[in-house]
Amino acid sequence: MIDIKLIRENKEIVKENIKKKFQDSKLPIVDEIYDLDIKFRETKSKADGLKAEKNRISDQIGALMREGKKDEAMKIKDEVSKMSLEITELENQEVMYEAEVKKRMLVIPNIIDDTVPIGEDDSKNVEIEKYGEPIVPEYEVPHHADIIAAVNGMDKEAAGRTSGEGFYYLLGDVARLHEAMLAYARDYMVEKDFTYAIPPFMIHADVVEGVMSFPEMEAMMYKIEGEDLYLIGTSEHSMIGKFKGQMVKEAELPICMTSYSPCFRKEGGAHGLEERGLYRVHQFEKQEMIVLCKPEESMDWYNKMWQYTVEIFRNFDIPVRTLECCSGDLADLKVKSCDIEAWSPRQQKYFEVGSCSTLGDAQARRLGIRTKGENGTYYVHTLNNTVVATPRGLIALIENNYQPDGTIKIPKVLQPYMGGKEVIVPKNK
């Protein structure tokens, strides 16, 4: 959520930003907010003036009664009663105008960074840099579901019986490899001085509203029937929510945390071959990182954070690239974002395995996360980035480490988490 002052003082900047995001249908909302805010402030000013006047003349009642001027005192009492009724009416109008302003403010997109490329959708995202050589081996790389099946590493049929489409059992060495990736990612981030956390896996609606836009919530999140709880789609939500309503000590900034969680999403899956495997599923696990920092430090942290993910995937012997997300592909709360994509030797293209974003003070403003510095109180900036999300990360690892004899080579950094095992050998050929 942007600062209302921007609409009060220069609403054309807000409108231009909306145009850059190709959301022209929201342009009239800016004028609605502007007009409602004027009415809110006028009503509040009138109510405050009446309260001051009421307090002033109320003080006269006691003195008049002591002086025996009962008629004058009663006249003032009647006047005070009328004022009280008018103040109550004005306060109700204040609440109504404030609620209407907030409802509209929640759909106004954040002001994007000047460096964000302008484009309607993800087809206009811009490649920044490649890391590692995207090799196409001379031998065929099977679909990841077939590679995993050869080592008895997955059972989607049984998961279908217990839970339905979009769920899976991971088994044996593949399950261990899955957890090894997460454990390595955790330890990597701890070495970078991030505090490890395991957060709640369900959050209240007001936290959801604080960390994401309503359309995102509807498309992604599972609601617990009959309760004010949602299953998290990423631990970023509960990790940022941890600081809801808090006055953070400026001396403690930046706050850097890395969190593990399962993640739950409504995502149904792409059509075609990818539905066979693990690419789009309702449940996955992720190591996440979040940072709360001073505004002037947020862009430096943004660049550090995505580089951590690149380094981790290179340590897994996986070629990756970074893509700058264009204006139309940015979620409304984001200032700037980039995707980390891993190379698929089977498909001979890159696919998304992580995303890094800076949200400015949008989440902090919605959730009331502030700090106090030399120049007064201000909202902190928040950032988030995927360290490793699997099974997507697992797919990339399996494909890029698949050998012509059907074995899966285990990257050196993961071998200690696999009991020293160097390869996973097929059980079914």
**Does 135 lie in the same domain as 95?**
no
Task: Burial-class residue 123 by CB neighbours within 10 Å (0-12, 13-18, 19+).
Answer: exposed
Please report whether residue 330 resides in a domain.
yes
Mean confidence (pLDDT) of the chain: 93
pLDDT at position 168 over 90? yes
Torsion of CA 101, 105, 107, 111, to 10 degrees: 160
Q: In the structure, what pLDDT confidence band is assigned to residue 273 with cuts at 50, 70 and 90?
A: very low
Please give the average per-residue pLDDT across 407-419, as a whole number.
97
What is the rounded distance in angstroms from the CA atom of residue 397 to the CA atom of residue 250? Answer: 40
Please report whether residue 83 resides in a domain.
yes
* Domain stops at, among 42, 76, 105: 105
**Does 295 lie in the same domain as 254?**
yes
pLDDT at position 219 over 90? no
Please report whether residue 303 resides in a domain.
yes
Q: Give the CATH number for residue 90.
A: 1.10.287.40
Please give the average per-residue pLDDT across 364-369, as a whole number.
97
pLDDT at position 268 over 60? no
Look at residue 331 in the predicted model and tell me its pLDDT: 92
What is the rounded distance in angstroms from the CA atom of residue 236 to the CA atom of residue 211? Answer: 8
pLDDT at position 213 over 90? no
**Does 143 lie in the same domain as 47?**
no
Q: In the structure, what pLDDT confidence band is assigned to residue 428 with cuts at 50, 70 and 90?
A: low
Pick the closest to residue 372 from 252, 289, 287 (CA basis): 252
Please report whether residue 323 resides in a domain.
yes
Please give the average per-residue pLDDT across 420-429, as a whole number.
87
Torsion of CA 202, 207, 211, 217, to 10 degrees: 60
pLDDT at position 411 over 70? yes
H/E stretch holding 188: helix 172-191
Please report whether residue 117 resides in a domain.
no
**Does 237 lie in the same domain as 96?**
no
Look at residue 100 in the predicted model and tell me its pLDDT: 96
Q: Give the CATH number for residue 389.
A: 3.30.930.10
**Per-residue pLDDT tens digits for 134-156:** 999 999 999 999 999 999 999 99
pLDDT at position 315 over 70? yes
**Does 126 lie in the same domain as 101?**
no
**Does 208 lie in the same domain as 177?**
yes
Please report whether residue 112 resides in a domain.
no
Whole-model pTM over 0.75? yes
Look at residue 429 in the predicted model and tell me its pLDDT: 55
Please report whether residue 111 resides in a domain.
no
**Does 344 lie in the same domain as 387?**
yes
Q: How many domains does the chain have?
A: 2
Q: Which residue type is seen at 146?
A: D
Question: Can you say whether the dihedral through the CA atoms of 73, 78, 79, 81 is positive or negative?
Answer: positive
**Does 258 lie in the same domain as 361?**
yes
**Per-residue pLDDT tens digits for 241-259:** 999 999 999 999 999 999 9
**Does 75 lie in the same domain as 186?**
no
Please report whether residue 209 resides in a domain.
yes
* Domain stops at, among 70, 105, 140: 105
**Does 78 lie in the same domain as 133?**
no
**Does 170 lie in the same domain as 27?**
no
Query: 354 or 79: whose pLDDT is higher?
Result: 354
Please give the average per-residue pLDDT across 37-62, as a whole number.
86
Look at residue 272 in the predicted model and tell me its pLDDT: 40
* Domain stops at, among 60, 76, 105: 105
Range of the domain at 149: 122-424
Please give the average per-residue pLDDT across 41-70, as a whole number.
81
Hey, is 404 helix, strand or coil? Answer: coil
**Does 98 lie in the same domain as 127?**
no
